[in-house]
Structure 1
Amino acid sequence: MLPSGTLTAVMLLTVVVGTTAALLAWRERQEPGAVPLTALLAGQVWWSVFFVFEYRAGTLAGKVFYSDVQWVGVVVIPVAWLLFALEYTGRDHYVRPRYVGLLSVVPVVTVVLAATNGYHDLLYLDTELVTEAGRTVLHRTGGPWYWVITGYTYLLGLLGSIPLLGLVRSDSLPFRGQSLGLLVGTLAPWASNVLFLAGAVPIPSLDPTPVFFAVSGVAYLGAITRFRLLGTSPSANHRARRLVFERMREGAVVVDRHDYVVDMNEQAAEILDVDPRDVLGDPAAEVIPRYEHLPEEGRASRHLTLGEGLQSRQYDATVTAVADFHGRSLGGVISFHDVSDHLRRQQRLEVLNRVLRHNIRTETNLIYGNADLMDAEGAHVEAVKEGAMRIEAISDKARDVIDIFERGRQPGRALTLSTVLDECVEEVREEYPSVAVDLEMAPDGGCGDGSDIAVSPVLTSVVRNVVENAAEHNDDDPWVRVRATCADDTVEIRVADNGPGINDHERTALERGNETPLDHGSGLGLWLIAWGTEMADGDLEIDDREGGGTEVTVRVPRLAAAEE
């Protein structure tokens, strides 16, 4: 053991170094981990100061008093160390008042027991002055709570060291230097405390831990000044990786090697329509549809359809294996890339290609065939004219399709509901004067006159084609009724007619979402209605009307403002 004067000088140096490091840390208190580090260094200084006072006190009462006061610094150090490690490495979501309060329960109880030690034997069973190595020192026998706080201190120290150990292998030299400096600064006094508890120190009754705070202070100063401890912080690294996982556009589900769900981001929860709190820990096969068809190893993708009808979405489900450093499988990440828009664009091109190649070619062949049969009296002239008119109608529909595609690229625009409905109804009335077209804004439907209800401009082509389709395919006392109702967030337009209805193969193609060379619809009208409703973020229903005819219901969201 050092001579008395030398020990005092070393402790004075310890206090100076610790105070300097604490002031430097406090100056950077806006940086992650600076405040807990300041508290840790302040606890070391406190312990060191009153250690000297205890060592130099000449009476039992004086030594006992300073020994009890030291507990304030002793219990601050492990709590501050853990909070610093969490905040410094980006795990600051644990550094909240309720967690700090829970961590402080045992330290606060310890300080109270130290202050009231004369009334119980919880902290110390016995206290006396003894002479060891020629010096009079305080000898205290620990009680049950002494070992509780000792175990608690080492537990917090271990928990705080774990996240810092990960930085030792960092590719960044400053981060490696910072973490090594911090670990050395922490391990030096803890090692001396272990030796003290084991009785392997020159003076068994004198805890030399404060002496090694000199090493701790130098290590912390080096980390602050040489490796920019509070100037270059890895705190953003942990948070950024988690943020990328949570905010990535793709849905992602993490499964372990036994195919249980262990994590998922918000996008995956929305795609799978689940609450993460309900499914974490469940078998992946119960959470992810067709999970058993996904590859088990490596990196591959499978097509996955979720939902039904027009509201279904298509995803490329990609599986990326996760392994440890020894190549052993730890599980995998299943990511869901939404390819619905790509597939729907492909589907639209296929439909347009089919119309151009099949329907127009058929009508053109019909025109040529009837032209060959024409005689001098003009037979088959009407058939030729009708074929030409059908080609013109197909061209008009194609232009309408292009129009809604263009309007769909302008999401900021809006029109009033009254403008959309009035324009569509008037056009159909002019084109089909024999059809009775009635427009009704439901009195109790919340729309008023529709002049202050904003909707997507795509709805113009949708409603016009719905009404036109109802009027065109009806020859027996035809009528069409258009009824609009409005809610706080949606607009519903119902178009009913007394026509022959929509045949099954057209509906089948529409519900399936694509066409085949042998099974396709007769034109673009229904596709235009379905695509336009989808672009307006709406829903489409086609039902047979009781008594004959068809009822088409289009629901779209209300927009914030409309252009007159």
Structure 2
Amino acid sequence: MIAGSWIVVASLASGVGTLTLLGRLWRYREKPGAKWFLLSLVCQALWSVSYAVSLLVFDETVRLALEVLGWALLAGIAVYFLAFALAYTGRGHLVETPWYRALLTLPAVAVVLLGTNPWHGLVWDEFSVVAVAGLAGTAYELRLWAVVVATGGVLIALLGSLVLFDTVASYGRLYRREAIAVGVSTVPPLSAVIVWLYEIGPVPELNFATVLFLPHIALDAYAFVRSDMFEFHPATRREGERAAIEDLGNPVVVVDEHDRIVTLNAAAESVLGVEKAQALTEPLAAFLTDETFAGPDETDRVTVDTDGRRRTYSLATTPLTASGDRLGSTVVLQDITEEIQREQRLQVLNRVVRHNLRNDMTVVRGFAEAANEATDDTEVSELLDTVEGKADDLVDLGEKARAIEGILGADRRATTVELAALLSDAVDDVDADVPIATDVPDVTVTVDADTLRVLCVALVENAVEHGSTSPESRTPRDAVEHGSTSPGSHSRRDAATAQPDETSDERAPVRVTATVRDGGVEIAIADDGPGLPEHELDVLAAGEETDLEHSTGLGLWLASWATRRLGGDLNFEVDDGTTARLWFPVEEDGKPS
């Protein structure tokens, strides 16, 4: 029996063990860094088996070929292990750099240089096969630069271990055991390589690294198989820390692909009522009040009990990826409790006030109308006419508020309509005592038709009010005070006047034109009135009303909000009248109908 046969058996065992580990980890091949680790295992398995075979080959030519292969595989183990450590800890972008891509060619370079060494002698000289304990060992003298390069290879593998140890220092208990196991696993084979490289041991002709792969494999198996190291990888946390600022005022939680907490900032600790150390690896749902939480990708708001108070938060979820792989998500929580309560209060107040306003003003108008019919006093009748008009204005104001809530608060979709028909209907909805000229091309457009119609009605009403020369027209005011966009809501004064026919007369007091341009439609509504008051436009430009600067109604606000809903632009030109220019995009260019 060969005295050194145990080395052959141990090397073969290392190869078999490595292949077994490779098979167990194959399912993780899409995880960050996994493909590099698997490549290093492939090199490790090939080296273990090929070295076991080489120890039984005394033919110098074949032994030389196997020695070259061993050096190339050793280089591959080093560069692939460092690539794994970088990618696994969230530094995968470094592997994509040109310098590291060049480093990845080291195994191929080793094959070329060592394979051609018998001709140029640049790497070693005096290669020979030496019998040691019945095995075929090798003896040769490495050139100094080759020793330096080989030492660099050892340092590359050592750097990979240091990167993993950095994970221990940076991320605490979550990855501590796994990272220590993998980092320490490289120590036995690297020690054997150093002893062999510098001929420190008693048998420099033999390399015991393949034997010491056995504890290396055991530690890797513990980390990756038993402890699921690829299930919890620090790349998720590192990428999350890049996206989330620790001192951000809003709560930020980083979760992995299974919605387990990887890290969270101080604001999130306060909101969820948990310290970071206790929250790590726990499901995010465990700290939420919602029992039906389906994950941040499927849920847009959640409720949390904080200090005995229930708060509602909206979720803004950003996927975390590395090299195209989904690692998890960064979840930002925005407290919307006050916003929801404010919306509820406004809805209640709006409906109650509008309902009471309509009912009470209907009663007021009825009494005023009855009193007007019962009196013969002209002066009293005029006063009662004013009361009736004001009552109509307030009822119309309530109807306008209802129209705003109904149109802007609903979830509407674009439909294909004929532009000329839509604008014709909008003009028909306006009770006017002046001619309205229209010039609209026969095109079809795809747009939110209901919103566009209400918007055009508001603008035409405004033009009629400001452009009218009728004695019925009073001081320039927002048209909403005098007419609703609802076709069924008209005042008695308006009903008393006939709706004029549309005309193409360019001298008409109100003119409606439309053109198709720039991927959308421009509608211009012009009048010959005194022009919109400057303070009305200032309020719209400021986007808010104050005690000193406020509009006199809702019509222009409706026009502004509806324009935003359409994604368009609305401008007013005041010069010898007012021209409202509305442009809005359409999903398709206007086409002849």
TM-score exceeds 0.5: yes
Tell whether the 8 Å contact from 1:130 to 1:138 is kept in structure 2 after alignment.
yes
What secondary structure is seen at the aligned counterpart in 2 of 1:379?
helix
Aligned counterpart, 2:459: 466
User: Per the alignment, do residues 498 and 178 of structure 1 end up closer, same or farther by CA in structure 2, a change over 3 Å counting?
Assistant: same
Between the aligned partners of 2:77 and 2:227, the Cα distance in structure 1 is 22
C-alpha spacing 1:421/1:95, structure 2 compared with 1 (3 Å) = farther
- Counterpart of 1:422, as a letter, is S
Task: State whether structure 2 residue 443 is matched by structure 1 residue 450.
Answer: yes
CA distance in 1, matches of 2:240, 2:525: 47
Partner residue of 1:554? 582
Letter matched to residue 113 of structure 2: L
Please state how far the C-alpha of 1:115 moved relative to its aligned partner: 0.8
Matches within 5 A, 1:215-364: 215-229=215-229, 233-235=231-233, 238-239=235-236, 242=239
Alpha carbons 2:90, 2:239 under 8 Å: kept: no
Q: CA deviation at 1:499?
A: 0.9
Return the alpha-carbon distance in structure 2 between the equivalents of residues 475 and 35 of structure 1: 78
Mapped pair 1:502 → 2:566: no
Deviation at 1:560, TM superposition (A): 7.0
Aligned pairs for 1:538-549 (under 5 A) are: 538-545=568-575, 548-549=576-577
Output the CA distance in 1 between the equivalents of 2:558 and 2:335: 23
Distance 1:513-1:88 versus aligned 2 partners, 3 A rule: same
* Closer, same or farther: CA 452–160 of 1 in aligned 2, 3 Å: farther
Match of 2:42 in 1: 42
Distance verdict in 2 for CA 1:456–1:401, change over 3 Å: farther
User: How much does 1:125 deviate?
Assistant: 5.7
Does the 8 Å CA contact 2:467/2:510 hold for their aligned counterparts?
A: no
Structure 1 residue 141, shift from structure 2 partner: 1.5
Give yes or no for the alignment of 1:424 onto 2:426: yes
Partners in 1 of 2:548 and 2:32 — Cα distance?
66
Distance 1:103 1:453, change over 3 A: same
Give the match for residue 438 of structure 1: 437
How do 1:501-520 residues align onto structure 2 when only pairs under 5 Å count?
A: 501-520=531-550
Tell me: CA distance 1:134–1:47, structure 2 relative to 1, closer, same or farther (3 Å).
closer
1:6 maps to what in 2? 6
Tell me, yes or no, if the aligned pair for 1:76 and 1:107 is still in contact at 8 Å: yes
Aligned-residue offset at 1:77? 1.0
Name 2:163's counterpart in structure 1: 162
- Structure 2 gaps of 5+ residues are 248-269, 271-329, 471-507
For 1:49 and 1:527, how far apart are their aligned partners in 2? 81
Q: CA deviation at 1:500?
A: 0.5
Question: Gaps (5+ residues) in structure 1?
Answer: 247-251, 257-298, 300-332, 442-447
For the residues of structure 2 that align with 1:495 and 1:35, how far apart are their CA atoms? Answer: 66
Measure the CA separation in 2 of the matches of 1:165 and 1:3.
43
Contact in 2 for aligned 1:455/1:556 (Cα 8 Å): no
Q: CA deviation at 1:142?
A: 3.4
SS in 1 for 2:379: coil
| CA spacing shift, 1:10–1:493, aligned 2, 3 Å | same
**CA–CA distance in 2 between the matches of 1:516 and 1:463?**
27
Q: Does 1:106 align with 2:106?
A: yes
Map Cα deviations across residues 263-292 of structure 1 (whole Å, 9 max, x no partner): xxxxxxxxxxxxxxxxxxxxxxxxxxxxxx
Label 1:469 to 1:227 Cα distance change in 2 as closer, same or farther (>3 A). Answer: same
- Preserved contact between residue 126 and residue 142 of structure 1 (Cα < 8 Å): no
Determine the C-alpha separation between the residues in 1 that align with 2:343 and 2:556: 16
* Alignment match, 2:283: none
Distance, in Å, in 2 between the alignment partners of 1:244 and 1:427 is 58
Distance 1:212 1:523, change over 3 A: same
Counterpart amino acid of residue 550 in structure 2: H
Taking a change above 3 Å as real, the CA distance of residues 496 and 102 of structure 1, as seen in their structure-2 partners, is: farther
Superposition deviation, residue 385 in structure 1? 1.6
- Deviation string for 1:159-178 (max 9, x for gaps)? 47525742685555xx5444
Q: How far apart are the structure 2 equivalents of 1:103 and 1:551?
A: 69
Q: Deviations over 1:34-88 (max 9, x none)?
A: 5443332221222223334444444655543332121231122123323444555
Q: Which amino acid aligns with 1:142?
A: R
Are 1:51 and 2:51 counterparts?
Answer: yes
Distance in 1, matches of 2:29 and 2:187, equals: 24
In structure 2, the residue corresponding to 1:485 is in which secondary structure? strand
Matches of 1:16 and 1:85, distance apart in 2: 24
Secondary structure of 2:583's aligned partner: strand
Sequence identity percentage: 26
1:234–1:509 CA distance, 2 compared to 1 (3 A): same
SS in 1 for 2:378: coil
Cα contact 1:86–1:92 (8 A) shared by 2: yes
For 1:336 and 1:502, how far apart are their aligned partners in 2? Answer: 44
- The separation in 2 between residues aligned to 1:199 and 1:7, in whole angstroms, is 18
For 1:222 and 1:457, how far apart are their aligned partners in 2? 65
Q: CA deviation at 1:413?
A: 5.1
Tell me the alpha carbon deviations over residues 177-204 of structure 1, each in whole angstroms, 9 at most, x when there is no partner: 4433322322321233234445543334
Letter in 1 for 2:559: I
Deviation at 1:479, TM superposition (A): 1.2
- Measured in 2, the distance between the counterparts of 1:406 and 1:226 equals 60
Question: CA 1:18–1:425 in structure 2 vs 1: closer, same or farther (change >3 Å)?
Answer: same
Distance 1:537 1:244 in 2: 36
- With normalisation by structure 1, the TM-score equals 0.66
Alignment coverage as a number of residue pairs: 461
* Deviating more after overlay: 414-423 vs 462-471: 414-423
Mapped contact 2:462–2:555 kept (Cα < 8 A): yes
Counterpart residue identity of residue 532, structure 1:
A
